[in-house]
Amino acid sequence: MYAAWTVKHKPQSLRDVVGNSEGKEKLLAWVKSWEKGAPAKRAAFIYGPPGIGKTVTVEALAKDLGMELVEKNASDYRTEDAIQRFAGLASQYGSLFGGRRLILLDELDGITGAEDRGGTGAITKIVKEAMCPIVLIANDAWDPRFVALRSYCLMLEFKKPPAGEVTRHLMRICASEGISADEAAVKFIAQRSEGDVRSAVNDLQALAAGRVKLTYDDVSWLAYRDRKDVIFSVLRLIFYAKTAEGAKRAVDVADVDPDMLFLWIYENAPYHLKDPGDLVAGMEALAKADLYRGRIARTQDWKLTRYVIDFMTAGVAMARQKTGSVGWVPFKFPEKLRMLSRSRAERAMENEIGARIKRRMHVSTRVAAKEILPYVRVIFQSNPEWAAGLVRWFDFNDEMVEHIAQGKKFVKAIQKQLLT
């Protein structure tokens, strides 16, 4: 049965939550301080970018300490009366079973819009009088409407975890799912998520769907959607470098990995090394770089990467001996990458899909595309019956089904279910 990996592999203990060890320790110490009576700060305010584990930290902590967690989205309780009915009463009375209680008000940003009618003021009042710990969560704790509230809270900033920690988390998930994953592939997913653990897990599930092995080639194409300006500057530094060291330094500013940089250099070498002898020398350097790329793929000996870089940068730059000025020559997008890149029509299609998801689920188009569409794609590729139900509910047309399913066999299976 299909299950979202963000739910299936949600941390069950505080030690399993990725990153923010200092913030987790402070939160744990603050909750435990309630055992001696209400502390000066009766609420903890956790803030930071989405997807980095703010909510799961509180949920895991409650499990570790055996506390009853009363959890709600503050955005669902925007008025003073609604806030008081839920959080006010919960903060004053003990647990039904006599245990300790922890109140979590998530998505506090949601009560700062035009519909807020006293919600923030009510929360401030509840925090001042709370008889049990209250945790508030928002992306931006420095919104002007939270000025009064902040003075009564222990402020805990959660930051994006390092890519290494996210990589280890994703590797554990792969092992649990029986997927043999190249570390380079998983590391790429982690780096691309930029610290958004939830997004990284969503990407991993979408990319690993139906696979027992996940390689770098299965994921690397994602890197080249919006990086052309940077790569053009890097290519100029390489092709027109005066010294070998200068050409090698270009890699330091490249926002791409060596394998993809190799494809860019290979594609453009004939247009910038006009002399036949120079071109032969440049292609020989690239051939040697490619030999090392193949050896790395076979042995996973990443120390050999330095030879790839040396040959494809310094080797190509120093091949330029007789080529004169070539004038302005535009750099060409690698054909291999062009096939994998999304066209403008595809982006428009994805926006329309996101809009239809938005209408049904009342989220932004960005959230629909980034957080929900990967789930939908996994369902389309694993459960035709559920997929058919989603097609009807979201009112997807045939083109949308083909775009999401990404495979004729999946489309046929879904269409068969739609006819039943």
Both 140 and 26 in a single domain? yes
Q: Is residue 15 part of a domain?
A: no
Q: Is residue 401 part of a domain?
A: yes
End residue of a domain, out of 140, 157, 174: 157
Q: Which residues of 138-175 are buried (b: 16+ CB within 10 A; e: fewer)?
A: beebebeebeebbebbbbbebebbebebbbbbbbebbe
> Whole domain around residue 176: which residue ranges?
163-224
Both 152 and 28 in a single domain? yes
What pLDDT shows up at residue 393? 92
What pLDDT shows up at residue 75? 58
Taking phi first (over 0 means left), then psi (-120 to 50 degrees means alpha), and beta for anything else, what does residue 71 get?
beta
What pLDDT shows up at residue 25? 95
Both 329 and 405 in a single domain? no
Q: For residues 111 and 149, give the distance between their C-alpha atoms in angstroms, rounded to a whole number.
A: 13
**Strands (DSSP E) found in 82-230:** 101-106, 134-138, 153-157, 180-181, 213-214
What pLDDT shows up at residue 289? 94
Both 323 and 201 in a single domain? no
What pLDDT shows up at residue 113? 44
Amino acid sitting at position 419: L
End residue of a domain, out of 200, 224, 248: 224
Q: For residues 88 and 12, give the distance between their C-alpha atoms in angstroms, rounded to a whole number.
A: 28
Q: Is residue 7 part of a domain?
A: no
Both 126 and 140 in a single domain? yes
Both 93 and 199 in a single domain? no
In this prediction the pTM is 0.53
Amino acid sitting at position 252: D
Q: Is residue 197 part of a domain?
A: yes
End residue of a domain, out of 138, 157, 176: 157
CATH number of the domain enclosing 196: 1.10.8.60
Question: Cα angle at 10 between 105 and 160, to 5 degrees?
Answer: 70
What pLDDT shows up at residue 31? 94
Domain count, the chain: 4
Q: For residues 390 and 384, give the distance between their C-alpha atoms in angstroms, rounded to a whole number.
A: 10
What pLDDT shows up at residue 115? 43
Tell me the two tokens of residue 407. Answer: 């495979």
What pLDDT shows up at residue 116? 44
Both 135 and 171 in a single domain? no
Q: Is residue 216 part of a domain?
A: yes
Both 180 and 214 in a single domain? yes
Q: For residues 6 and 383, give the distance between their C-alpha atoms in angstroms, rounded to a whole number.
A: 18
What pLDDT shows up at residue 64? 94
Q: Is residue 10 part of a domain?
A: no
Q: Is residue 207 part of a domain?
A: yes
Both 40 and 143 in a single domain? yes
Summarize the chain as % helix, strand, coil (round to 5). 65, 10, 30
Both 393 and 304 in a single domain? no
Pinpoint the alpha helices (H) of 34-98.
54-65, 80-83, 89-92
What pLDDT shows up at residue 410? 86
Both 181 and 74 in a single domain? no
Q: Is residue 149 part of a domain?
A: yes
Within the chain, which residues score under 50 in pLDDT?
1-2, 88, 95-97, 112-117, 224-227, 229
Both 399 and 278 in a single domain? no
Q: For residues 372 and 361, give the distance between their C-alpha atoms in angstroms, rounded to a whole number.
A: 10
CATH number of the domain enclosing 62: 3.40.50.300
